[in-house]
Structure 1
Amino acid sequence: MRRLFSRSSNPAGISPALPTNMHRAVTHPIRRPIAIAAHCALWGVLSIGAAVGTTAHAQSPASHAAADPIKHFDVPSGPLATALSQLADQADVLLSVPGSITAGKSSPGVHGDYTVPRAFDSLLSGTGLQALRQDDGSYSLAPMSTDAGSLPTVTVVGRSDGAASQAEMLNPPSTVGSKIPVAQREIPQSVSVITQQQIEQQNASTLADVMRYTPGIEALPVSSVTTSYIARGFPITTFQLDGVPTALTSSSVGAPDEDVSMYDRIEVLRGASGLFNGFGGDGGTINLVRKRAPSTFEASADVGIGNYADHREQLDIGGPLNQSGSLRARVVAMQHDQHLMQDGTWQRDQQVFGTLEADLTSTMTARVGASYTKQFGHEMYGLPVSTDHTPISVPRSLYLGASWNYTQLEKSSEFVKVEQKLADDWKAKVAYNHVQYSSFAAYGIPNSYVDPTTMIGNPYSLSYADKNTQDSLDAFVSGPFELLGRKHQLTLGSSYLHQRDRSYEYLINPDTGLDIFGDYTASILNNSIYSDAFAGGPQSNYTTVSNQYALYANARISILDPLTLVLGAQATWWNSTVTPDSNPYYNAFGTTYSHDSSGPKFTPLVGLVYDINDTYTAYASYTSIYKPQTSYTSFDGGILKPVVGSQFEVGIKGEYFGGRLNTGIALFQIDESNRAFEDPAHPNFYLASGKARSQGFELTASGEVLPGLTVQTGYTYVDARALDDSLTTGGNFSWQPKHQFKAWTNYQLPGPWHKWNIGGGAIVQSGMYSLDSGYHDTAGGYAIFNALVGYEISKNLSVTLSGTNIFNRKYWSAVEIGNGNYYGNPAQVMMTLRARI
């Protein structure tokens, strides 16, 4: 039977003797203490760190050379990790490789008849590494500067495990749909994992950058600092931090578009995701996995410079803090400054992240950490639509709005995570997250509808502030059990999420009498009409407090060797209270006090996973949808009834070249009712009676197609429509295009060109629309292309030149009623210098 779950490390660090035809991974850390100087100058840290070596023990291979037989080798050029795995396979030897020593390195390959040591020498030419033979005939990889008496004992891999290790680097196991690491092939839903290598290759700096190349995801800008994500026609409203559910602020639309410098990878589940997310979203879930403190010293610095006065700096440094390596730390700091496409606009992003990790006992590990993110700038809000229900056509560089437009978003978080290994391969994990959001914005906005000839519209001034606090706790146990002579897997847990959101919104500009109901008309080309005298004006202020409790269980039942039954269920309790300001002057919309509660509500998941053969796995799954609508209120002041629905999904997943290439095809159908739509008799209030269906299919591929050639690609077809006439009276359904194709590829050149890599990507999609009073506000489809070229200057230094929208296509990246229409960015170029130790 094929292994269903990812390997776990040896908790005791014991290395039993193995026959030479067996392969396994065991880690034995022997480390020197390393002091992490987080406040050193950027390049000063790197030059000091370059002189810090790790010591250990190994045997020189010189005494064995005379007796070595000659073998034939045929290893193509490409990434060093892949080449080493292939050479170890052809040589039939075990090779010890520290986890990060091959990162970012390539090999010219080796072809011809050699002894094994000579083959390693040829393969490692120009990498700064050497293969040192041990007494038992295995080999250990080490830097050239490390002598034979100081090689650390490191992770041991052989032919099979070396290939498996490379496969997991390209397509790692995911926790987003299972709580525990499970191979993507074994999850009965559509999952993508965007690795650190992919993030660097695509030169992605923000979450929106990452999502734009993630198959099946539509990233719609809401402002310069927030983005809304759509999958299968529905918004993604559930996020996780290291697997712990979190939520968007209730008064805002979209997710904070923060920098991804502190995240190791990003996991995405498309479709209904309520099993481990409380009342989960219908569009999917995004799990942000934080970076961890490394077991050996690592330091890196990235400096990027581009057009639009774009420059970004990042420092990442970490390692052990004591002799035994039981205490480890990591610090990441980033700053990004850029001008935006409109004249005079700009934005600055700052982020710092720190984490400390300790092995409290041989079976218990604890992690603590904190982060702070600040985004602020002078930007333009979205463009309005014209009276013919298309976005107005103006130059991308034209600024429309007040000279004092300003946006600021701050986010701070602290976390604690403890993992305890139990008997019989069981584990217990407890995690706590505390997150605070604080946002402020002031805008002069050109509102809909605009006469395309005269440019007369309904401009107004708006200011709002929001303070949101979240506390989330998640605890679970997982492990194997035996029943009826077969081995199965069980996960049992609970979660809690508390959220308090305080919103302040100035609705009227008192100096001019302009209000949001559009009873003032003027030319939107006149930026001097806006006033920022908000003080004393009417407001809409209210506080929302919500609590969510959940108990969940998930079992993977091995029915037959090739057949696994996945059963999951979650019981959720929820309550929410909306309290408006007691002063009517600060309650301009007339919001009334309301309290709503629900539970226990059960969210089931049923899936079947069938291994057709070593390459293909078929699956089918069903899950339900139950989603409260706290952001919408009816005219009588009550919170709308929750959205209810279901999702069916079937598909086939493929795994090629030992798991280095994953493919998938999925067919899905999602049905929903009680969807919010605007009350035609009472503007700005909503009814819950809309019904909708989304159905379609996805084709995806991710991994290494040929040696050195990696791809991430997907085609998505989505037919999302209303099943009644509710959307003809107002409100929106789907901003996702019916057809969407995304592809990204990177190629490490072979032979004498092995230090070069080239890459490119394409996003091609059909048009988008939103619905407004029976009209389609539309924008056409587009195709944009990106490219990059990289060069490895030395083993510690590389440079990359990347370009986005290289043909400077003018297109709409978001279309919405009112003023939510955004141009996509014009052509941009950035050169990034990366230093690694």
Structure 2
Amino acid sequence: MSSPQILRLSKLSFATSLILSGYAFADEANTKDDSLEKIAVYGQHHKNYITEDAQSATKLGLSIKETPQSISVVSRALMDDFSLDDINSVLESTPGVTVEQIETDRTYFKARGFEITNFQVDGLGIPQSSGSIQGTLDTSIYDRVEIVRGANGLMTGAGNPSATVNMVLKKPTYVTQAHASASYGSWNNKRLELDVSTPINDEHAVRAVFTKQKAESYLDRYETDKTIGYLAYEGKLTDDTLLSINYVNQQKDADSPLWGALPLYYTDGSATDYDSSTSTAADWSYWDNSAEQVYVTLEQNLSATWVAIARYAHIENEQDSELFYVYGTPDKETGLGLTGYASRYDYEDKHDLFDLYASGKFDLFGQEHDLSFGVSQAKMDYNEQSLYDYTTGNGFPEMPSLDTWDGVIPEATLTDGLNGSDIENKQQSAYISTRIKLSTPLNILAGVRYTDWETKGTAYGVEQTRSDNELIPYVGVVYDFTETLSAYASYTETFVPQKELDINAEQLAPVTGKSSEIGVKAQLLDDQIFVTFAYFDAKQENLAVALPDSLPGDTRYYGADGINSDGFEVELSGKITDDLSASISFSNLNIDGDDLVKDYTPENQLKLAATYQVPFVEGLTFGANYRWQDSVSRVQVEDASGAALVTTKQDAYGILDLMANYKITENVGVTFNVNNTTDEKYLHSLYWAQGYYGAPRNYALSVNWQL
């Protein structure tokens, strides 16, 4: 970072601190005896899946209706009813989001045609070294998951115009409560959850969550062992000061995981059609992922309407794996023609995150307005290493037909070709946002965020050092026609530094773009139903897209200039009748500028989750969770003129999950889930040239106890 850039950011940090201190001293005399008033809105638990308040889009304490962007919330109730036990299944149920599960333990998420790279925990941004999630993020420690669709640079700094996923941790309660759940399902899937919260006294409380899950799989040889521990403390240090400490430990060990997936066409160009259980994993392969996280939050009341919040997080992720990849094109008659590829891969990263901001209200021209401002810093270090076997003959073995292969292959001696990355990233930001009430029905939201991103280090022998900075504006308008109906519009720009390498092993320039959205939000039937409609338009330039002929472990990219996406989303959630509650959404997406992305991204999606409480059988509830998408494809082979010679197609399909819950007593209930009820056979994703099939019909029974 150059000296002028340091000076500019330092001035912003100093000015923000000075303003924050000024508000504290100015209000001290009048607010000395005021009790702590939290500006943040945490939302309520709605069994009927109605959209909740969320804090992922602004730090102004606004409701979803007051925010000029599309926001969806997956509640704890929905996660419990349909066993949405990881972030993959949560986002599969989210409007406008596609889950590109390319392997068993690596997943990409997309919205509005772009990768989701912005993830938050309790509103604190967790920068990702890539757009993928390794392993899985278990949801047992979260109260809800908020998804802000579209660009969200005001809250997260660098980011795509896709979506921001905010995972809200469970909080300690000041009334003792306990919950336990034990389930057993297909393929010997065993899961235990314990959740206990209790007050220490009137001003301090703690909560603990423990989850253990061991499962085999519909995929040959694949097994997982997952352990999650969570501890939370909340307490008042003074009448005006609140301290929260959260600790998370997640471990997922996977035996015989997929690295890569199945070949999708034969040498004659026809489509392969393996059994859903077919896997390319060797019997000795494994992929272990662990994550340890600490979050500390200090909230200080500055006045009756102002609060300052300081947050710090330390996060460590580790991967340890020995993996087996299969590549090539098989012969249709013999199944031969494939080659194996063994590798050891180790990875670790460390994040130190800090965010300090103040939020509150001020009076001007006879109206009360909202203001938030702050500074943040994220320091991220990661190191990765790869090893291969070029000497024993077991590193690249010829493969038998996958139709008969049982995973038995000589174990490679992975000691050759040590290579990897050692990267340090630092992001520093200063931001300010406000909501100005021009009149009773008209509100304007405006903000700006200055972000400075610095990268140092090397990746596979290539120098990665670079420095990028950007001033990101945000403006939005909300007009309230009535207390229950409003219209909105918003505009922002985007900026994403990239670590991906091009064909010449040089780092791609940052992605830049523009994003706009207009929509309508309405609360109907005495606020029991929330309806939103949004039209969006986004453009990015220089977006990294993987070259189709990249080698495993050495993916190269090109910048897709001028990619555009536009479309609309409709969502309804709430209590339709006294007995029927539902969340229904339909999304339409059009992509121009990149045929590859356009082809493998569904144009239309329909998602529905509903529960019905049977009126004549007390305690009995039925539910359905349905997800449909239209057809997608991927051109696999082209001729010299660019005409498609081989294309993989996945026809439109829908997945129906059913649920029945019966409360035996006030404290004990049982839940029976049937997933993929119609036994649909489908490919998870065409994001890569390979793919594998989703799980066939399966069952689970759980017993739940609550104090």
The TM tier, using the shorter chain, reads 0.7 to 0.9
CA 1:228–1:506: 2 relative to 1, 3 Å: same
2:3 is aligned to none
Q: CA deviation at 1:520?
A: 6.1
Alignment pair present for 1:351 and 2:228 = yes
Q: Which residue of 1 aligns with 2:4?
A: none
Contact 1:280 1:627 in 2 (8 A): yes
Distance in 2 (CA, whole Å) between partners of 1:681 and 1:413 is 37
CA distance in 1, matches of 2:34, 2:695: 51
1:671–1:390 distance in 2 versus 1, CA, 3 Å? farther
Task: Tell me, yes or no, if structure 1 residue 425 matches structure 2 residue 425.
Answer: no
Equivalent of residue 279 in structure 1, options 155, 158, 161: 158
Offset, 1:11: 12
- Pair 1:800-2:671 in alignment: yes
Q: 1:355 to 1:343 in 2, by over 3 A?
A: same
Say if 1:649 and 1:507 are closer, same or farther in 2 by CA, change over 3 A: farther
Contact 1:768 1:778 in 2 (8 A): yes
Aligned-partner residue type, residue 613 of structure 2: Q
Do structure 1's residue 620 and structure 2's residue 499 form an aligned pair?
no
Query: How far off is 1:748 after superposition?
Result: 1.8
SS of alignment partner, residue 88 of structure 2: helix
User: Which residue of structure 2 aligns with residue 646 of structure 1?
Assistant: 514
C-alpha distance in 2 between matches for 1:345 and 1:380: 6
Q: Which residue among 237, 241, 252 is the counterpart of 2:117?
A: 237
Aligned to 1:827: 697
Match of 2:351 in 1: 470
The question of 1:178 aligning with 2:42 is answered no
Deviation at 1:234, TM superposition (A): 1.0
Cα distance between partner residues in 1 of 2:366 and 2:208: 48
Aligned pairs (5 A) from 1:416-565:
416-455=296-335, 456-512=337-393, 514=395, 523-524=401-402, 525-526=404-405, 530-565=409-444
CA distance 1:745–1:636, shift in 2 (3 Å): same
Aligned partner of 1:572 in structure 2 is: 451
Alpha-carbon separation, structure 2, partners of 1:467 and 1:350? 19
For structure 1, which runs of at least 5 residues remain unmatched after alignment?
1-9, 15-24, 27-162, 581-586
The CA deviation string for residues 29-74 of structure 1, in whole angstroms up to 9 with x for no partner, is xxxxxxxxxxxxxxxxxxxxxxxxxxxxxxxxxxxxxxxxxxxxxx
Distance in 2 between residues matched to 1:794 and 1:514, nearest whole Å:
58
SS of residue in 1 equivalent to 2:79: helix
Residues 801-820 of structure 1, C-alpha deviations (whole Å, 9 max, x = no match): 1111011111112124343x
Aligned-pair distance for 1:735?
3.6
1:97 paired residue number: none
Alpha-carbon shift at residue 333 of structure 1 (Å) = 0.1
Asked if 1:192 corresponds to 2:63, the answer is no
CA distance in 2 between counterparts of 1:739 and 1:253 reads 23
Secondary structure of the 1:210 match is helix
CA apart distance, 1:824:
1.1
User: What is the CA-CA distance between 1:532 and the residue it aligns to?
Assistant: 3.0
Map of 2:140 onto structure 1: 261
What residue in structure 1 maps to residue 473 of structure 2?
A: 604
Structure 1 residue aligned with 2:104: 224
- What residue is the counterpart of 2:629 in the other structure? 765
CA distance in structure 2 between the aligned counterparts of 1:195 and 1:170, rounded to whole angstroms = 8
Instruction: Provide the rounded CA distance (Å) in 1 between the counterparts of 2:494 and 2:293.
Output: 29
Q: Would you say how many aligned residue pairs link Structure 1 and Structure 2?
A: 657
Q: Provide the C-alpha distance between the structure 2 equivalents of 1:510 and 1:526, rounded to a whole number of angstroms.
A: 24
Name the counterpart of 2:684. 813
* Aligned position for 2:186: 307
Flag the 1:164–1:548 CA change in 2: closer, same or farther, 3 A.
closer
Q: Given the superposition, is the C-alpha separation of residues 532 and 275 from structure 1 closer, same or farther in structure 2, using an over 3 Å criterion?
A: farther
- TM-score (normalised: structure 1): 0.74
Counterpart CA distance in 1 for 2:472 and 2:523 is 30
CA drift of 1:829 comes to 1.0
The answer on whether the counterparts of 1:447 and 1:818 sit within 8 Å (CA) in structure 2 is no
Q: Which amino acid aligns with 1:339?
A: E
Q: Which residue of 2 aligns with 1:360?
A: 237
Structure 1 pair 312/569, CA: closer, same or farther in 2 (3 Å)? same
1-structure distance, mates of 2:549, 2:115: 26
SS at match of 1:814: coil
**Where does 1:70-149 land on structure 2 (aligned, <5 Å)?**
none
CA shift, 1:733, in A, is 6.1
Q: How far apart are the structure 2 equivalents of 1:283 and 1:318?
A: 36
Letter aligned with residue 54 of structure 2: S
2:575 alignment partner, SS class: strand
| Residues 384 and 391 in structure 1, CA contact (< 8 A), matched pair in contact too | no
Deviations 1:462-481 (Å, cap 9, x if unpaired)?
32111111111111101011
Whole-angstrom CA distance in 1 between matches of 2:392 and 2:475: 59
Distance 1:758 1:389, change over 3 A: farther
Pair 1:543–1:771, CA change in 2 (3 A): farther
Residue 696 of structure 1: aligned partner: 567
In structure 2, the gaps of 5 or more residues are 1-30, 639-643
- Give the counterpart of 2:655 among 776, 781, 784: 784
CA distance in 2 between partners of 1:198 and 1:694 (Å):
30
Q: Secondary structure at the match of 1:753?
A: coil
Structure 1 or 2, whichever has the larger Rg, is 1
8 Å Cα contact 1:222-1:254 kept in structure 2: no
Distance 1:766 1:507, change over 3 A: farther
8 Å contact kept, 1:777–1:817: no
Report the Cα distance in structure 2 between the residues aligned to 1:777 and 1:808, rounded to whole angstroms.
21
**Aligned: 1:316 with 2:195:** yes
Q: Are positions 1:374 and 2:232 aligned together?
A: no
* Deviation per residue, 1:581-618 (Å, 9 max, x gap): xxxxxx5xxx322310012x111111111112233211
| Equivalent residue number for residue 629 of structure 1 | 498
- Structure 2: distance between partners of 1:383 and 1:255: 19
C-alpha contact 1:238 1:247 (8 A) present in aligned 2: yes
Structure 1 744/445 Cα, relative in aligned 2: closer, same or farther at 3 Å? Answer: same
Partners of 1:256 and 1:275 lie apart in 2 by 29
Further displaced range: 527-536 or 803-812? 527-536
Identity %: 23
> Which of these residues, 726, 739, 748, is aligned with residue 613 of structure 2?
748
Distance in 2, Cα, partners of 1:812 & 1:503: 30
Partners of 2:424 and 2:285 lie apart in 1 by 30
- Decide whether the 8 Å contact of 2:46 with 2:77 is kept in 1: no
| 3-state SS, counterpart of residue 744 of structure 1 | strand
- Cα displacement string for residues 479-533 of structure 1 (whole angstroms, at most 9, x for unaligned residues): 0111111111011011111111111122445322755xxx967644545674432
Aligned partners of 2:547 and 2:603: how far apart in 1? 27
Q: Give, in whole Å, the separation in 2 of the partners of 1:652 and 1:742.
A: 20
Residues 137-176 of structure 1: pairs in structure 2 closer than 5 A: 170-176=50-56
Q: Secondary structure at the match of 2:89?
A: helix
Quote how far apart the aligned CAs of 1:199 are: 1.3
**Secondary structure of the structure 2 residue equivalent to 1:308:** helix
Residue 60 of structure 1: aligned partner: none
- 8 Å contact from structure 1 (residues 625, 645) kept in 2: yes
Change (3 A) 1:385 1:510: farther
1:595 to 454, 457, 465: 465
Indicate conservation of the 8 Å contact 2:560/2:593, yes or no. no
Aligned-pair distance for 1:732?
5.2
1:340–1:379 CA contact under 8 A, matched in 2:
no
Post-superposition Cα deviations, 1:644-689, rounded to whole Å, max 9, x if no partner, equal 1111111111111333211111111111111224579997443435
Question: RMSD between aligned alpha carbons?
Answer: 2.7
